[in-house]
């Protein structure tokens, strides 16, 4: 196979592997902007010789003779199959709604792009979650908090007049993987985003996104009634405050009739909230919920709260605050829970709130942008991390997993969802590197169906991104599947976490101990001294394990039954603690740091074998980034080990490669 021409990555997974331009006939039985988009996608990309395609809603009279399980379609599902309609052999793409049909069109293209048999088409799927949402941490000045791929996509300056064509490209990419909502602004919100000019700008974006099935949401600053409303308080129990929010919601819905609702970060990291007035998180959420309720809107209220004044283990605080509120939230509120109890570390055990609030719909929040995994530079495919959390049994009931909680199945909730902190910016390739695009992709696909396998999705993405050369696909998938574990190994093996240089979170800083807030210091998390290392979260320590349901709590309470991956998250152990395989803790730690460094070297060597098979632009950028990662993996290991050795006074075990 000859390498493709230069590919700048703008086309994402919909890029160069497509655009066949064979103009296969595509008809549709009713008209809408959404169906026209679906038809256009198919015409542009279906291979020559494909059967003609018919797009039709499941209740269309033309389909009267077809056996279609309408129940299974739901409102967003699709079915794609060969059929004979009006005497004509077609590929039928159907759904209960036009959006379902659009998803079906993308599914058909995905099927064909990833080597699916064109003669055997029978695709059917419906999303397992209602809300599949990107959270943009985009500030109004264009800076993206924790964003590593350029300025915000939203050009607030030229909106609402100029609708950059890129907005439609963004919506198209999202629709192709089933994402149906976007929160436009940072959770650390400015009240200005709720003023009339910004509502008009958001409305312009909503106008572009609508046909792609993407709803717009806004992060709301809780103190907005004071800052832009002229009130003296933002107390959610004050009728004037509630009236202000109601009027604000009415104003937004006049501009954006299908506005999704609000996302709120309250009483966390300095943000205002109901606790400032002695009211609860439920009081705050419910007040906002009643403002959007008449319009069908929802509130996503974040559980990411911890206070500097609170001496309790930071890992426990969200549960302590929210678990007692179960049952008190209005029916259009979801509580948004980060995958783990601290903060998007390369590995965290699942958040103990999953399984602990059966009366409340919980929406899981993952970070797609790699704040703690080497920004845009390091290669880390997050699919296995998302999957590990989604598949985790909560222990609350037999068979219950994080996935079954957030799909609403465990507790019979109709509201359900997954949120991902976006890694998208104005960089030509959207996400700062080719491989980061895979994290956007896998988030969308898993939000649609948390039961999909991260390995299958890596393959699916790779084929659409690089074409079908089996040598390329095999190598790329192998690299991806080991990449996240490599980052865990060289930044914080065995359950260590939060060892990052403070503030920016790039590079090692396990020695940092001088920040005013104790729980922002890495030493707070590793607790290493001459005798041992790790955070005792058992009964003899913070007892955070007791926040898990009994079967899980029991497992984590004993270092012998705690998975090695989470060992020092839950236990403080002596450096010479013997692991099951006979190694000491210190030996195993060093071994893992070495392994992480070796994995990066292996990824780089594997990538080198693809040089003649991938276009020069993407190959060279990835190769250069891998070289940076290789250097920085060594930096992580050597700096971390030097620090641990200064604390424990031990030598490097024989055979260790450090320092290089
Ligand atoms: C992390 C991140 C912040 C962000 C916060 C949040 O702490 O570093 O930038 O604001 O998470 O999720 O609210």
Summarised one tens digit per residue, pLDDT across range 537-566 is 999 999 999 999 999 999 999 999 999 999
Q: Are residues 263 and 149 located together in one domain of the fold?
A: yes
Place of tokens 């060992």: 567
Residue at a domain's end among 68, 102, 125: 125
Ligand 1: nearest atom to the Cα of 145: 9
CA of 344 to the centre of ligand 1 (A): 9
Report pLDDT for 49.
87
Give the residue whose CA is nearest to atom 13 of ligand 1.
187
Q: Are residues 53 and 158 located together in one domain of the fold?
A: no
Q: Are residues 284 and 412 located together in one domain of the fold?
A: yes
Residue 518: pLDDT over 80: yes
Q: Are residues 180 and 290 located together in one domain of the fold?
A: yes
Q: Are residues 416 and 487 located together in one domain of the fold?
A: no
Tokens coding 415? 């509201």
Hey, which residues does 181 pair with through a beta bridge? 133, 215
Q: Which residues are catalytic?
A: 269, 343, 371
The mean pLDDT of 349-369, rounded to a whole number, is 98
The mean pLDDT of 6-13, rounded to a whole number, is 90
Output the 3-class SS for 571-615: CCEECCCECCCCCEHHHHHHHHHHHHHHHHHHHHHHHHCCHHHCC
In a domain, 35, yes or no: yes
Residue at a domain's end among 423, 456, 489: 456
Q: Are residues 99 and 225 located together in one domain of the fold?
A: no
Question: Exposed, middle or buried by CB within 10 Å (0-12, 13-18, 19+), for 173?
Answer: buried
Ligand 1: nearest atom to the Cα of 271: 13
CB distance 343 to ligand 1 below 6 Å = yes
Report pLDDT for 553.
98
The mean pLDDT of 147-166, rounded to a whole number, is 98
Domain with residue 26: its CATH number is 3.30.379.10
Residue 19: pLDDT over 90: no
- What residue numbers bound the domain in which 65 lies? 12-125
- Between CA 465 and CA 114 the distance in angstroms is 10
- Between CA 438 and CA 484 the distance in angstroms is 13
Q: Are residues 583 and 653 located together in one domain of the fold?
A: yes
In a domain, 544, yes or no: no
Give the residue whose CA is nearest to atom 7 of ligand 1.
343
In a domain, 560, yes or no: no
Residue 88 phi/psi, 5-degree rounding, is -115, 130
Rg of the chain over all Cα atoms, to the nearest angstrom: 25
In a domain, 543, yes or no: no
CB 283 within 8 A of CB 274: yes
**Count of H helices and E strands in the chain?**
19, 15
Question: What does the pLDDT look like over 180-204, one tens digit per residue?
Answer: 999 999 999 999 999 999 999 999 9
Residue 2: pLDDT over 60: no
CA proximity to 657, closest of 545, 513, 489, 517: 489
Q: Are residues 578 and 655 located together in one domain of the fold?
A: yes
Domain with residue 229: its CATH number is 3.20.20.80
In a domain, 554, yes or no: no
Q: Are residues 382 and 481 located together in one domain of the fold?
A: no
In a domain, 320, yes or no: no
Report pLDDT for 308.
75
Torsion 188-197-165-250 (CA) sign: positive
Residue at a domain's end among 456, 484, 518: 456
- Give the single-character DSSP code of 6: P
Q: Are residues 285 and 151 located together in one domain of the fold?
A: yes
CA of 31 to the centre of ligand 1 (A): 43
Place of tokens 């800076």: 143
Domain with residue 476: its CATH number is 3.90.1330.10
Residue 17: pLDDT over 60: no
In a domain, 382, yes or no: yes
CB 108 within 8 A of CB 93: yes
Residues of the chain above pLDDT 90, percent: 91
CB distance 314 to ligand 1 below 6 Å = no
In a domain, 367, yes or no: yes
Report pLDDT for 16.
54
Residue 222: pLDDT over 50: yes
Of 110-114, 261-265, 411-415, 516-520, minimum mean pLDDT range: 516-520
Question: What does the pLDDT look like over 556-614, one tens digit per residue?
Answer: 999 999 999 999 999 999 999 999 999 999 999 999 999 999 999 999 999 999 999 99
Report pLDDT for 309.
78
Report pLDDT for 21.
63
ipTM of predicted assembly, 2 dp: 0.99
Question: What does the pLDDT look like over 48-106, one tens digit per residue?
Answer: 889 999 999 999 999 998 888 888 999 999 999 999 999 999 999 999 999 999 999 99
| Number of domain units in the chain | 3
pTM value is 0.98
């Amino acid at each position: 196979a000859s390498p493709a021409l230069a590919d700048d990555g703008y086309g994402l997974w919909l890029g160069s592997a497509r655009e066949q331009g064979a103009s296969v006939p595509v008809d549709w039985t009713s008209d809408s902007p959404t169906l026209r988009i679906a038809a256009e996608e198919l015409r542009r990309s279906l291979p020559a010789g494909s059967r003609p395609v018919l797009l039709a809603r499941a209740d269309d009279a033309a389909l009267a003779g077809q056996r279609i399980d309408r129940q299974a379609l739901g409102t967003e599902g699709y079915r794609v199959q060969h059929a004979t309609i009006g005497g004509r052999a077609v590929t039928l793409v159907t759904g209960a709604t036009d959006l379902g049909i659009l998803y079906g069109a993308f599914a058909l293209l995905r099927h064909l792009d990833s080597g699916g048999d064109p003669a055997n088409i029978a695709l059917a799927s419906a999303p397992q979650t209602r809300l599949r949402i990107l959270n943009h941490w985009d500030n109004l000045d264009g800076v993206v908090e924790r964003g590593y791929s350029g300025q915000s996509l939203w050009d607030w300056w030229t909106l609402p007049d100029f609708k950059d064509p890129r907005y439609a490209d963004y919506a198209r990419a999202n629709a192709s993987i089933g994402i149906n909502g976007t929160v436009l602004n940072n959770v650390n919100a400015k009240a200005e985003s709720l003023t009339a000019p910004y509502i008009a700008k958001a409305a312009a974006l909503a106008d572009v996104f609508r046909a792609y099935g993407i709803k717009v949401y806004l992060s709301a600053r809780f103190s907005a009634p004071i800052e832009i409303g002229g009130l003296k308080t933002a107390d959610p129990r004050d009728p004037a405050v509630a009236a202000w929010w109601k009027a604000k919601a009415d104003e937004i819905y006049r501009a954006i009739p299908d506005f999704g609702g609000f996302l709120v970060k309250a009483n966390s990291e300095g943000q205002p909230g109901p606790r400032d007035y002695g009211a609860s998180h439920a009081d705050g959420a419910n007040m906002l919920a009643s403002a959007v309720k008449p319009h069908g809107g929802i509130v996503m209220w974040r559980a990411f709260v911890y206070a500097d004044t609170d001496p309790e283990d930071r890992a426990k605080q969200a549960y302590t605050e929210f678990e007692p509120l179960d049952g008190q939230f209005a029916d259009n509120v979801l509580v948004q829970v980060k995958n783990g109890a601290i903060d998007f570390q390369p590995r965290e055990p699942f958040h103990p709130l999953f399984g602990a609030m059966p009366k409340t719909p919980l929406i899981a929040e993952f970070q797609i942008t790699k704040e703690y995994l080497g920004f845009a530079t390091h290669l880390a495919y997050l699919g296995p991390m998302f999957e590990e959390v989604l598949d985790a049994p909560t222990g609350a009931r037999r068979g219950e997993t994080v996935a079954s909680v957030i799909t609403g199945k465990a507790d019979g909730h109709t509201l359900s969802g997954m949120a991902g902190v976006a890694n998208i910016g104005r960089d030509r390739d959207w996400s700062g590197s080719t491989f980061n695009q895979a994290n956007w992709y896998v988030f969308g696909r898993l939000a649609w169906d948390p039961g999909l396998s991260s390995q299958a999705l890596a393959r699916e993405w790779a084929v659409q991104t690089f074409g079908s050369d089996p040598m390329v696909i095999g190598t790329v998938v192998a690299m991806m599947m080991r990449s996240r574990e490599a980052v865990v190994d060289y930044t914080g093996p065995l359950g260590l976490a939060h060892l990052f240089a403070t503030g920016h979170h790039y590079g090692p800083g396990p020695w940092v101990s001088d920040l005013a807030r104790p729980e922002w210091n890495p030493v707070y998390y590793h607790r290493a001294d001459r005798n041992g290392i790790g955070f005792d979260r058992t009964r003899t320590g913070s007892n955070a394990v007791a926040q898990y349901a009994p079967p899980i709590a029991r497992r984590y309470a004993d270092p012998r039954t705690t998975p090695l991956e989470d060992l020092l998250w839950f236990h403080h152990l002596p450096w010479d603690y013997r692991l099951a395989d006979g190694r000491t803790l210190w030996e195993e730690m060093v071994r893992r740091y070495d392994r992480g460094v070796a994995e990066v070297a292996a990824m780089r060597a594997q990538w080198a074998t693809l040089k003649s098979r991938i276009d020069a632009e993407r190959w060279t950028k990835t190769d250069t980034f891998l070289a940076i990662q290789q250097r920085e993996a060594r930096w992580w290991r050597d700096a971390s080990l030097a620090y641990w050795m200064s604390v424990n006074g031990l030598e490097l075990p024989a055979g260790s490669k450090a320092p290089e």
